[in-house]
Structure 1
Amino acid sequence: MRIATILAATAALALSAPASAQQSQGQSQTQGSGARETVDRVLDTLLGPRRQQEAAPQEQQVATEQANNMNAVLLHPRRAEDRARDAWRHPAETLDFFRVQPGMTVVDFMPAGGWYSRVLIPYLGRDGNYIGLDPEIGDEFSSYWDTYRNTASRLPRDARQWVGLDGARVYGLNTDDELDAYAGTADRVLIFREIHNMRRFGWFHDAMVAIRTLLKDDGLVGVVQHRARTGAPASYTLGDNGYQRQQDVIALFSAYGFELVEASEINANPRDPADWEDGVWSLPPSYRGAPEGSEERARRAEIGESDRMTLLFRKRP
């Protein structure tokens, strides 16, 4: 009975499609195509979304290819020294949560020594763009902080040393650069463990304005940050200890026109008490205050790296 109903409905809709024996062959072919589309719509309605079922294997194939690509990136010999921290930073899972895909334009805020650059640049591929964005570094900063100056000329050179000619096109910017040429081009902005520096050094406002400028209207911001306890006092979470309260980070982003899409526990570490006198640097790999070979250092090694929030935000109009 159901088959008869399907055939009858299909025939009726097919006959209702415009047709004329006097029309040209090209017009008839176009109408025939329209009729077939009508038939397909009926079958989809009565039998279920066949096209979605047919598309599923294609989507699975794309997902498999991306996973294989990521796996190859993570296992590349150039990451031999980086790989020890994968267990704490979960790069594949984190970038998947941030919905990063090959071919995108991704802004990496304060790439520093290039740990994530060596993942992102090759993963984004030849069709992608990688933009390293650094804050404006004032004259009061020197030594280590000099490595964040003149990013437009410095970062492409650094990237060639990190990954050779593999992967995405590489650009460098500082927040005080002219950003018009890049405005509205970024699919994603990623901030890895830098919110505390943005706050304690007064970079947060300019950085957030630059991020809004660079992002597309539907762009997303991914944040990984050392996480303080919910009830941690403000005196401990202003930036100098590295830890930030998750609710404070969400509130700060809301104030700059971003809404929380989702939070993840990918980078959580419940063994971290997050109240160290010397801040997050008490834990590996810094071990501040715990000499090599000491029992305290061994205890901290067992705890591992810091507890971290992983947040995804969407740019609001």
Structure 2
Amino acid sequence: MRILTSLAAIAIAASAPAYAQQQQQQQEEESTGQQILRGVLNVLGGGQQQNQPQAQPQTLPVQGQTSSIDSVLQHPRRAEDRARDAYRNPAQTLNFFRVEPGMTVVDYMPAGGWYSRVLIPYLGREGNYIGLNPELHPELTGYWDMYRNASSRIPADARQWVGMDGARVYGLNTDDDMASFAGSADRVLIFREVHNMRRFGWFHDSMMAIRTLLKDDGLVGVVQHRASQNAPVEYTLGDNGYQRQEDVIRLFAAYGFELVSAAEINANPRDPANWNGGVWSLPPSYRGADEGSAERARRAEIGESDRMTLLFRKVN
């Protein structure tokens, strides 16, 4: 189990051996006064400096100032990502989740980094981005290998996604020692992963980790493929992607999260949400619809899935 140091300690502990090289680079980029100010801001933001030397996670150094959400969304690095903006509505969604520059935000299962390329630059150099992955069963390999070794993999991936822009980047798996990150997160965001949390048995450990990471009264934003209200239970246990909205609200309530608000930002009433192949029958996967077929064209007209957008508050 990896021992990870606190966010504040990483930002200001010049004496930590594993951090010396990164600190030297940062000193070349900033004045002493700026470094002191950064440290004060981080401490005020809830970090706790550790007295004992600990193993350092690999992090992504930062450059550049805070960017507006519009400039982030229009950045050339998102050229391929923008095709899905019409279905994912990132500006409206992050506004509904009350995400602001300078926050510490946990992104659950960043995968290929679609939202990472938005969040990391938007949070800015005073912000912190934590990619949180579940601890995987050994038999889950192939595609799922990207979720292992988050403490090194996510900072390295972020360098490919956004270069040196934006927030500091950290990676965690749910079985890591999170004591030094406890109570540091303003927001936890879960984009279309509740079904995976349920079908692979990750829900309990993930929710416990989320409670640990969040500040008191911290918020959790959830976007999830939405089943119809009367969908059979067997269809909504995870393997089809769709979840009933009332079930998600009850599951979060069982772990001490109260619903603050629900929105239709990511709704798609054209989606019947009853596909035999699950949510992957729709774009961009088109499961069961051959390229060039009339059925594929019909599904393209429907667009991506109907989605709930929920905001929860952590309660004691």
How far is the alpha carbon of 1:78 from its aligned partner? Answer: 0.2
What SS is found at the alignment partner of 1:260?
strand
> Of Structure 1 and Structure 2, which has the larger fraction of its residues in helix?
1
**What are the superposed Cα offsets for residues 14-39 of structure 1, whole Å, 9 maximum, x if unpaired?**
xxxxxxxxxxxxxxxxxxxxxxxxxx
Name the counterpart of 2:131. 132
Q: Which amino acid aligns with 1:184?
A: G
AA matched with 1:274: A
Please say which structure displays the higher CA radius of gyration.
1
Which position in structure 1 is the counterpart of 2:254?
255
CA distance in 1, matches of 2:127, 2:229: 38
Residue 215 of structure 1: aligned partner: 214
Q: CA deviation at 1:75?
A: 0.3
Give the whole-Å Cα distance in 1 for the aligned partners of 2:137 and 2:203.
14
1:155 Cα offset (Å): 0.5
Kindly indicate whether residue 59 of structure 2 is the aligned counterpart of residue 71 of structure 1: no
- The 1-side partners of 2:160 and 2:238 are apart by 32
Matches within 5 A, 1:158-173: 158-173=157-172
SS at match of 1:212: helix
Determine helix, strand or coil for the equivalent of 1:147.
helix
Cross-structure match for 2:105: 106
Which SS does the other structure have where 1:241 is aligned?
coil
Q: Deviations over 1:88-113 (max 9, x none)?
A: 00000000000000000000000000
Deviation, 1:229, is 0.1
Question: Bigger shift: 137-146 or 205-214?
Answer: 137-146
Shift of 1:83: 0.3
- Please give the secondary structure, in 2, of the residue aligned with 1:235: helix
CA displacement at 1:218 relative to structure 2: 1.4
Supply the distance in 2 between the matched residues of 1:125 and 1:195 (Cα, whole angstroms). 28
Q: How does 1:1-317 map to 2 (within 5 A)?
A: 69-317=68-316
Shift of 1:144: 0.7
Name stretches of at least 5 consecutive residues in structure 1 with no aligned partner: 1-65
Could you tell me how far 1:285 is from its partner in structure 2? 0.1
Report the equivalent of 2:35. Answer: none
Query: Following TM superposition, by how much is the alpha carbon of 1:129 offset from its aligned partner in structure 2, in angstroms?
Result: 0.1
CA distance in 1, matches of 2:145, 2:277: 24
Distance 1:153 1:173 in 2: 9
Larger RCO, structures 1/2 (Cα 8 Å, 6+ apart): 2
**Aligned partners of 2:171, 2:187: CA distance in 1, in Å?**
15
- After TM superposition, which residue ranges in structure 1, 4 or more long, deviate above 6 angstroms? none
SS in 1 for 2:68: helix
SS at match of 2:220: strand
Shift of 1:138: 1.5
Aligned to 1:47: none
SS state at 1:224 partner:
strand
Aligned identity (percent) is: 79
CA distance in 2, matches of 1:218, 1:104: 14
Distance across 2 between alignment mates of 1:294 and 1:249: 35
CA distance in 2, matches of 1:182, 1:103: 16
**Distance of 2:270 and 2:221 partners within structure 1:** 24
Q: What do the CA deviations read for 1:152-202 (whole angstroms, capped 9, x no partner)?
A: 011101000000000000000000000001000000000000000000000
How far does residue 307 in structure 1 lie from its aligned partner after superposition?
0.0
User: Alignment length, in residue pairs?
Assistant: 252
RMSD of aligned alpha carbons: 1.1
Runs of 5+ in structure 2 lacking a partner? 1-65
1:142, CA displacement in angstroms? 0.6
